[in-house]
Chain A
Amino acid sequence: MGLTKYWESCKISLYNSLVYKADFISNSLFIGLIIFIFVYLWKAVYGSGHGVIEGFTISMMVWYFVMTESIVTAPGRLIEEIGEDVQSGEIATKLNKPYNSVLFKYAYNMGQTLLRFILTFLVGGIIAFLFLGGVEINWLTLPLVGIVIILALTLHFCMMMLLGIFTFWFEDAKALNFLYNKIIFVFGGMLLPLEIFPQWLAKISAVMPFSFVAYHPARLFVIFNLNNFIRTIFLELIWIALFSGLIAIFYKSFIKKISINGG
């Protein structure tokens, strides 16, 4: 049994990404620009005093945003990619190989995702550091936060994969992608930490899967807390298991109904 094929998938995705290096770098630079604007936005909000908003200092707020941006934008256009594969019939060449196609796609996407995550985080981090200085983190907790981030990216993949499969029925990958992105943007806490929301909304958002992609990992990064860490990992795993189950169910019926156009 070879798991090496999935590792190999991750590797070729990296080679392939390096071909598109200009695309990657410009993408990260653009996100850097957004972070730069946010630095000034938050400066205006916090005023001249070094206040604290809902437990966040200004540098925590900006580093939080650097982290959510890096995670959320890392998988790229996954939903649309799957939609294109289905509609162009390209999926035929991906189904006739002796591997688990979803796992293979996961490994492939993870290769690019990690690269993009690191790039964006570096660019965003440099900007945050230059304008606001570092954030107080216990470096020992970073490997733990790393685990939370990997799981967050995995959950992110699972939800996007499921929506990608749905494009078979909805035929409109762009709309699904748009909807999902906006939900992550708001309910996932990508833009603002959930603490800023009205309490009832914050409570609901905090248990929904979307916040485990952005809010929880980013919060753990700026405010580490062992209890929160354990709880986050636990819930991330539950959501991943749930979405994996849904993917398995829908993938099966999708495979049976698929019709491959042309050629």
Chain B
Amino acid sequence: MAAIIKVENISKEFRIKEKEPGLKGSLKSLFTSKYKSIDAVDNISFNVNKGEVVGFIGPNGAGKSTTIKMMTGILFPSSGKINVINYDPQKERKKLAFKVGTVFGQKPQLWYHLPAIDTFNLFAKIYEIPEKQYQQRLKELIKTFEVEEVINQPVRKLSLGQRMRCEMIASLLHNPEVLFLDEPTIGMDIVAKKRIRELIKNLNENDGVTVILTSHDLEDVEQVCKRLIIINNGKIVYDGSTKGIREKYLNFKIIQVILNEKTESLNLGLKNVKAVFKGKFRHVIEIDTSKHPIQEVVKKIVSKYNVEDINILDPPIEEIISRIYQNKTDHKDQKWD
């Protein structure tokens, strides 16, 4: 399959103005400016094939958004080469814009005080979509995204989930080949998140749209993407199948238990259970799900203790990254791909 996106050795260096604290610092900065260079993205390379759904994850400030912005031509890389659908995004930003759609979860493009339909109509003109084609496409999208009732209300009155669905429609009107989604589920509740994930999946499966998705929510990426790229400190630490990550690093869960009575520690009599936090009432344990299924552990806890509340959580992304690093140093001879 042909690569639709080629990214070769790109780096992006930001210069950040530094100021010493206090009034003295402020006065000083009037005359001399000190700059600090930060490598937001540090020599990254990868290819994306047509029809793939690739998830970019990493902690805040890892360089996910910066990479997306370079792929859409908004930011200029300090070095390296990018090719998206045979365009150089920086030199041919406008031409590329006709072929890609972008949604920034934190930077809405819908007019806040106007109904979403006004933005759609504007975008139809911006993307030069013939009227008939636009009306048909809009009808389809409104149906799939189930927003019939809300497109005539001012955007500010919509829920976050409804708003994001409208944002996605706005970026899909011109039938893009590649869709960039930067934190599309940020701030949403579980139900809304699930809807968005399903929609992204459908889009890829039914329309063959190539999707690049960033998130700091592991579950987002797990549900939607077959391939995962993990970025940390501007570098790729993992590029491979989502399944691989699940098998190698997502084989543990965090269980948080709140008990009704004071207890020194949870004693479950299981081997692969690690206590992460021991309080008087609150206990956090980490379990290896390949050794003990979740049900087994939960059943044990509930039968043994008087439980007020129980929470099962995925390990945070930072934890997985640190495990990947550990693994790298543990098996230095093993080649990573």
Contacts and interface: CB of A to CB of B under 8 A. Distances in A.
Task: Report whether chain A binds chain B.
Answer: yes
A255 B121 CA distance: 27
Interface in B76-103: 76, 93-95, 97-98, 100, 102
B46 interface: no
A91 B69 CA distance: 11
A93 B114 CA distance: 17
Contacts of A12: 111, 114, 118-119, 122
A95 B100 CA distance: 13
Nearest to B121: A8
B74 interface: yes
A98 B95 contact: yes
A5 B118 contact: no
Contacts of B127: 97-98
A96 B97 contact: yes
B104 A97 contact: no
Contacts of B66: 260
B113 A19 contact: yes
B126 A99 contact: yes
Interface in A10-51: 12, 15-16, 19-20
Contacts of A143: none
Contacts of A5: 122, 125-126, 128
Contacts of A93: 102, 104, 107-109
Nearest to B72: A96
B67 interface: no
Given A8-B126, A98-B98, A92 B107 contact: yes
A90 B66 CA distance: 14
B39 to A, nearest CB: 12
B11 interface: no
Chain A, interface size: which category?
20 to 34
A33 B72 CA distance: 49
A92 B74 contact: yes
A2 B123 CA distance: 12
Contacts of B105: 263
A138 interface: no
B183 A263 contact: yes
Interface string A70-95: 00000000000000000001101101
Interface string A252-263: 000111111011
B182 interface: yes
B317 to A, nearest CB: 17
A9 interface: yes
B219 to A, nearest CB: 20
B69 A92 contact: yes
A4 interface: yes
B126 A97 contact: yes
A89 B108 CA distance: 11
Contact of B74 (A8, A15, A260): A260
A255 B76 CA distance: 8
Contacts of A96: 72-74, 93, 97, 100, 102
25 contacts: A2-B128, A5-B128, A8-B122, A15-B111, A15-B118, A16-B114, A90-B107, A92-B69, A92-B74, A92-B104, A93-B108, A93-B109, A95-B93, A96-B73, A96-B100, A97-B127, A98-B94, A98-B95, A99-B94, A257-B76, A259-B14, A259-B15, A260-B69, A260-B74, A263-B107
Given A99-B126, A262-B65, 10 more contacts: A12-B119, A15-B111, A92-B69, A98-B127, A99-B94, A257-B76, A260-B74, A263-B65, A263-B104, A263-B105
Interface of A: 2, 4-5, 7-9, 12, 15-16, 19-20, 89-90, 92-93, 95-99, 255-260, 262-263
* A-B complex: 7 closest residue pairs judged by Cβ atoms: A263-B106, A98-B97, A8-B125, A19-B113, A93-B109, A5-B125, A5-B126
